[in-house]
Structure formats: structure tokens, C-alpha cells
Amino acid sequence: MLVYKIAAEESMQKAAFETKSINNSLEMKEVKISIDGSWQKRGHNSLNGVVTAVCSDKCIDAEIFTKHCNGCKMWRSKKGTPEYQCWLVDHQCESNHKGSSGSMESVGAVAMFKRSLQKNKLIYKEYLGDGDTSSFNDVIEADLYKEYGIMPVKLECVGHVQKRLGTRLRNLVKAQKGTKKLISGRAQRDRIDVNRKAKNGNDIRNYNKELTIAKEPKIYNILLYLLCLEYSILLYLLCLRYNILLYSILLYLLCLRYNILLYLLCLEYSILLF
């Protein structure tokens, strides 16, 4: 086991050195980091988990967690006895995490940010992670780069956005099932799910500039599409064909159904929206 650990550490150190050498800089360097957690089994009751930090397609750091210790489990029934006290003196507990399994990712992210300078001479300036975790918030609260005046910036993972969008679409279809809405039915569900997730990811990946509301209506068209499902797929297709004019018509129709205040706000801030 020790051999594997040494080999892994050497590999991560080599990857970190290559990252610093890209711009011929062996001093501290600001980099973009991707952090994600993985567990032995699905759900939030896994006893083992690992958190990895990836930069330039290579793992430069990792943190392994476990809530299980064979020794503690075997001696649990003898707790309080003289034999237990003698065993406890020399025992090295394998468990290194006391919180929930889901919190392993947050704890691991903070730990890797904390040692990034000492271990790799790297500053993790940009954080790419799941949009549904609290890891980034914990990193911000720790404020580990305070003396350098640097605050990490959050980047959203397009893959996770697509996954969550697909989940919402399936829930929407399930909620409307049997109500004679347009989106009911297995074929319609599958088509909407696949097409919408694919277009969502492609719209974002194909756009290389800064994602601002004023500059890119195609991406924010995703929200309009979901609202169109309440009325008709045809409206969405017409919006794509005839561009901005029908966006305003669609918003007006939606406002009549939901809230006239939204329409007034759209008129006030129409330039920002489109």
C-alpha cells in the first residue's frame, strides 16, 4: 500500500511541475483547478471517498477519506476493559473523517487549497466544480489566499448543468403526465430530454466569450424554451426562425399568464435581456 502511495505522490508532483513549467515559471503560479469528489458507492452513506484536484488534464493533488476502521470495529465490544486500553495505546486509527459522507468533498477541497502553496507552489485562482455542492462556499469562507489578495472564482461545469437540466425536464414531464399537455408521453419525453440537454451544452461550449445577458440571447433562450413547453413547441421553433421579434411576443404571452409585472420589467430592461 505504501508503494502505491509513494508512486501516486511522485506522479502528482510531476504533474504540478509540468503545470508550472508551461509558461517557464517555477515560482508561484495562478492556475485553474477542477475539484470533484467520488465515493465507493452511490448515495450519501458511503464509508469511503476521495477528492481529486485536476489541472491541465492531470491530477496534481488528492485527499482520501474513510469513516471505517477495522481495529475500532473489532475492539468496540471490549471498550473499557484493560485489554482495550493496552490496545488503544498503540492503535493507529484508519478513520479520518467524522462528518457526513457528503461533506468529504468540502473538507477535501479546503485541505487541498490550504496546502497548494506549500506542496505545489500553485495558487488555485479559478475553481471548477459541481454546481450543487457547498465546497466552493467553504473555500471562500476559509479565505486561504488572504495575504495575496486573491479570492478564488467559481466556474460552472457544463456537464453538471446538463445533468440537472435533464432531471428537471423529467420531473416536469412526470408532473404533467395525464393532464393532456403537449409534453406528455414517452416519445415526447425522450426527444425533449435528449435534444434540450444537447443544445444546452452546445450553446455554452460553442460560445467562447464572456457569458453576459447583454451579449448572448441563445444561452438564455434555454429558459424561454422551458416556459414555451407550457404553451407549444411551435412557439419555440418560430422564435428560432424569426429571431428577436417573437421573443418579445412570447414574453408578453407568458406575462399574461403569470404576472404582468414581469412584462413591465422586460420593457424597462429589454436591452439587458436581448
Residue 29: its pLDDT value, please? 82
User: In this predicted structure, which of 86-90, 101-105, 149-153, 268-272 has the lowest mean pLDDT?
Assistant: 268-272
- Alpha-carbon gap, residue 165 to 133, rounded angstroms: 16
Provide CB contacts within 8 A for 247, sequence distance 6+.
Answer: 217, 221, 224, 239, 274
Contact partners, residue 138, CB within 8 Å, separation at least 6: 106, 107, 109, 110
Task: Say if residues 106 and 135 touch (Cβ distance below 8 Å).
Answer: yes
Count Cβ neighbours within 10 Å for each residue of 10-47 and write b for 16 or more, e otherwise: eebeebbeebbeeeeeeeebebebbbbbebeeeeeebe
The reported pTM is 0.63
State pLDDT tens for residues 101-152.
888 999 999 999 999 988 888 899 999 887 666 888 899 998 889 888 889 9
What are the helix (H) ranges across 94-185? Answer: 104-114, 116-120, 135-142, 158-176
Residue with cell 505504501: 2
Which residue type sits at 166? G
C-alpha cell at 246: 417573437
